[in-house]
Amino acid sequence: MTYHIGQKLKGRITGIQPYGAFVMLDDHTQGLIHISECRSGVVRDLKNELEIGKEVVVTVLDIEQYTNKISLSLRQDSLLPLPVLPKNINLRKHFWTNNYLNYGFAPIAEHRDQWVAEALSRIGQ
């Protein structure tokens, strides 16, 4: 099943850690409710708030594109509703290069001869 930001889902809590609770959304997908998203206010111990096996209704806050980690919220209902985004939009797209410039490997090819000459001169010293 594909998920998208703003979607409300039912899931079952499968694990509780000091930083958050893991929720099984379907047979193959698990998400995390961070401790700050369990309820408004300060939560000192998640074991006092949630229990393993409990069914909860959560809101999808974010889906990390590369790792497919799903961030969930229990408190989102008490806040302003998130807009439901179309399935083909992902707000968290990280590129470590300027991919929109479409340089490809041209800059490497342009500088390769100079770099090889410098490397050979260092080796020869």
Distance CA 106, CA 60 (A): 40
Nearest to 74 by CA among 120, 30, 34: 34
Within a domain: 3:
no
Strand runs labelled E in 64-104: 70-73
Q: Which residue has the tokens 């090819």?
A: 109
Under 8 Å between Cβ of 4 and 60 = yes
* Cα 41 to chain centroid, rounded: 24
- Domain hosting 82: range is 8-86
Residue 30 lies in a domain: yes
What DSSP assignment string belongs to 37-65? GSSSS--S-HHHH--TT-EEEEEEEEE-T
Q: What is the pLDDT of residue 32?
A: 93
What is the tally of structural domains in the chain?
1
Q: Is residue 46 part of a domain?
A: yes
Judge whether 14 lies within some domain. yes
How confident is the model at residue 93, as a pLDDT? Answer: 54
Query: In a structure prediction context, what are the per-residue pLDDT tens digits for the chain, which is 125 residues long?
Result: 688 888 888 999 999 999 999 999 998 889 999 988 888 778 888 888 889 999 999 999 888 877 888 999 988 765 555 556 565 555 555 555 555 555 566 777 888 888 899 889 888 86
- Report yes or no on 55 lying in a domain: yes
Domain with residue 26: its CATH number is 2.40.50.140
Q: Give the global pTM.
A: 0.60
Q: Is residue 81 part of a domain?
A: yes
Q: What is the pLDDT of residue 71?
A: 92
Beta strands 70-73 and 30-34: pairing type? parallel
Between CA 20 and CA 12 the distance in angstroms is: 14
Q: Supply the pLDDT for residue 100.
A: 54
Q: State how far the alpha carbon of 12 is from the alpha carbons of 19, 87, 100, in Å.
A: 17, 23, 41
